[in-house]
A and B are shown apart, each in its own frame.
Chain A
Amino acid sequence: MKDVSNTSPQSRQQVIDTYFMEHRAKLIDIAAYLDRIDRGTGGEVSDFRDDFFRRALLILSDGETHRAKRILDLFSDHTDALPQSAEGMKGAAGAPAPEEGGAA
């Protein structure tokens, strides 16, 4: 992947100073979302979107760069097949369903 080091006009400290509060709030939003799932009724659930979401969280903390690109790649359909028509197809789910090559 492309080397993007030192491409920001800001220093690392300036980036933190500019964006910490905004992304602190977004991080807590994610934490609260996961808590909300835990508090939900109905017991354990298996959902391909949730599986992708939790795999994406691991990318956030793996220390490698291009996190946004890698998460978008993770959430992408990597199959080659083209259906003839969209008739009867559901709207985009945000992650590939198992029949589209997503995680089982």
Chain B
Amino acid sequence: MKYIDPHIHMVSRTTDDYQRMAQAGCIAITEPAFWAGFDRSSAQGFYDYFRQLTEYEPKRAAQFGIQHFTWLCINPKEADDPGFAREVVSLIPEFLDRGNVLGIGEIGLNKNTKNELIILEEQIALAETHNQLVLVHTPHLEDKLKGTRIIMDALSASNIDPGRCLIDHVEEHTVQEVLDRGFWAGMTLYPDTKVTPQRAADIIEMYGNERIWMNSAGDWGCSDPLAVPKARLEMKRRGHTSGTIDKVTLDNPQTFLSQSERFVIDDQ
């Protein structure tokens, strides 16, 4: 059994997690830049974080045979201060040539503010200028539906092909619109506030298995780095074929991510 976890924040996880993920069949992960749980006090803090994502973390993953890829950005929560956010965004081009960088992410909205939207639009422009893939964070809870629509409008106003953008954290009330507008959809499997493995399987049954993936988004909060293999077991329990299970946990991530020439899986 092989799978890809296309959204997980390994800087917040222990080395034991890499070991367990490798034992469960994980062959590659992609790690978007995100909020550290506290607001950083300087742009230099992001510079060091981008170095961690592009230099140190790939080596830690490689110890367990897991390939590590990453996405760079300022996250929407810290993007509410446009001056500070622009300082951080100005650092990103220096890192875009690093070997494991796939694109810009996870950009998006947090509280659906005008400030967040300004920086979102500027980071979309950055992705467009540098021909990068885009990984999108959508807000949680009551802000998700509204925020997802605003984000899709902002992406549609650019010249980026929606097929090169993945809208993450979809749920039952957003997945259809995301797919109908030509974007890829990501389901985040979380113990409490997001989609359970059971609901992820439901969504695949109802909305199909094209242009959709699932991820753990494991981070510093209550989360499960083995959520993807658990969802695979859930689908197997229901009688889904191994072909369908592999499609949403291995083939689809590979198809989307391979739009970046840097995403090459070594053992295939």
Which positions in A face B, CB cutoff 8 Å?
A: 2, 4, 7-10, 18-19, 66, 68-69, 72-73, 75-80, 82-87, 89, 92-96, 100, 102
Contacts and interface: CB of A to CB of B under 8 A. Distances in A.
Interface in B204-241: 205-207, 237-240
B145 A92 contact: no
Nearest to A70: B173
A68 B117 contact: no
A75 B117 contact: no
B17 interface: no
Interface string B144-173: 111000100000000000000000000111
Contact of B111 (A4, A7, A86): A86
B143 A9 contact: no
Given A8-B205, A86-B113, A92-B140, A66 B172 contact: yes
B206 A7 contact: yes
A92 B147 CA distance: 13
A77 B142 contact: yes
B80 A9 contact: no
A4 B144 contact: no
Determine the main DSSP class of B at the interface with A: helix
A92 B112 CA distance: 11
Given A10-B239, A84-B113, A2 B173 contact: no
B172 A9 contact: no
Determine the main DSSP class of A at the interface with B: loop
Interface residues of B, number: 33
19 contacts: A2-B206, A8-B205, A8-B238, A66-B172, A68-B172, A68-B202, A72-B172, A76-B146, A77-B143, A77-B145, A82-B112, A82-B113, A83-B111, A84-B115, A86-B80, A86-B115, A92-B139, A93-B142, A95-B142
B110 interface: yes
A78 B115 CA distance: 20
B145 A9 contact: no
A102 B141 CA distance: 13
Interface string B89-120: 00000000000000000000011111111000
Given A86-B113, A93-B142, 9 more contacts: A2-B207, A4-B205, A9-B240, A19-B198, A69-B172, A72-B144, A79-B146, A80-B146, A86-B111
Contacts of A8: 205, 238
Interface of B: 77, 80, 110-117, 139-146, 150, 171-173, 176, 198-199, 202, 205-207, 237-240
B108 to A, nearest CB: 13
Contacts of A79: 146
Given A9-B238, A9-B239, A77-B142, A86 B116 contact: yes
A102 B171 CA distance: 20
B205 to A, nearest CB: 5
A2 B176 contact: yes
A85 to B, nearest CB: 5
Contacts of B111: 83, 86, 89
B142 to A, nearest CB: 5
